[in-house]
C-alpha cells in the first residue's frame, strides 16, 4: 500500500566528496590537476632548498671553513647575531680573519666561494658593530 503523501524527510544538503582518483581523471577537472601539480612542485622545491642549505652550527663553522658559505644564508635569514656583543660573536665564530678600524667596528670572516652560479669571487661575512653590539650582518666581496 503506497500512499501519495509527500515524505516528511528533508533532502540532504551534504555535498558528495570527490575521491582522489577523480582529480587525476583528465576529463574531469583540469583546474584541480594544475593546482595539485603546482602545489606539489612548491612542496618539493621548498624541501630541497631546506635540505641543501646548512643550518648554522658553531662546531661546523670552526671545523670546516671551506663549507661556511652553506651556513651564511641561515645566519642572515634568522638574524642570528643581531644585538649580540663582540664577546658572544667571538665565542660562536672564533677569531675573525681581519677586523677594520682601531675600535674594531667590523669583523670579517672568510666564507669561501659558493657552489652557486656566480662570478667566482671570494666572499666574506661582515659583522658590523656599534657600541660593542652587532647592528648588521652582510656578505661582501673579499678584497685582497
pLDDT at 116: 59
Distance of alpha carbon 115 from alpha carbon 41, whole angstroms:
23
What tens-digit pLDDT sequence spans the chain (144 residues)? Answer: 556 666 676 666 777 777 776 666 655 567 777 888 999 999 998 888 777 667 788 888 888 887 788 888 888 888 888 889 988 988 988 888 876 655 668 888 888 776 555 566 778 888 998 888 999 998 888 765
pLDDT at 12: 64
Distance of alpha carbon 23 from alpha carbon 34, whole angstroms:
10
pLDDT at 44: 93
* Residue whose C-alpha cell reads 680573519 in the numeric block: 97
- DSSP run (H or E) holding 99: strand 98-100
Q: What structural domains does the chain harbor? A: 20-50 (no CATH), 55-141 (3.30.1450)
Q: Residue 138 pairs with which residues in a beta bridge?
A: 126
Amino acid at each position: 500500500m503506497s500512499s501519495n503523501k509527500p515524505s516528511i524527510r528533508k533532502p540532504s544538503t551534504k555535498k558528495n566528496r570527490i575521491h582522489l582518483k577523480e582529480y587525476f581523471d583528465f576529463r574531469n577537472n583540469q583546474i584541480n590537476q594544475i593546482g595539485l601539480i603546482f602545489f606539489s612542485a612548491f612542496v618539493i622545491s621548498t624541501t630541497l632548498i631546506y635540505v641543501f642549505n646548512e643550518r648554522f652550527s658553531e662546531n661546523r663553522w670552526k671545523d670546516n671553513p671551506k663549507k661556511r658559505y652553506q651556513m651564511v644564508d641561515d645566519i642572515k635569514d634568522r638574524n642570528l647575531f643581531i644585538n649580540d656583543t663582540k664577546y658572544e660573536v667571538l665565542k660562536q665564530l672564533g677569531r675573525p680573519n681581519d677586523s677594520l678600524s682601531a675600535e674594531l667596528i667590523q669583523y670579517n670572516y672568510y666564507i669561501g666561494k659558493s657552489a652557486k652560479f656566480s662570478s667566482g669571487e671570494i666572499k666574506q661575512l661582515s659583522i658590523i658593530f656599534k657600541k660593542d653590539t652587532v647592528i648588521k650582518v652582510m656578505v661582501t666581496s673579499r678584497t685582497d
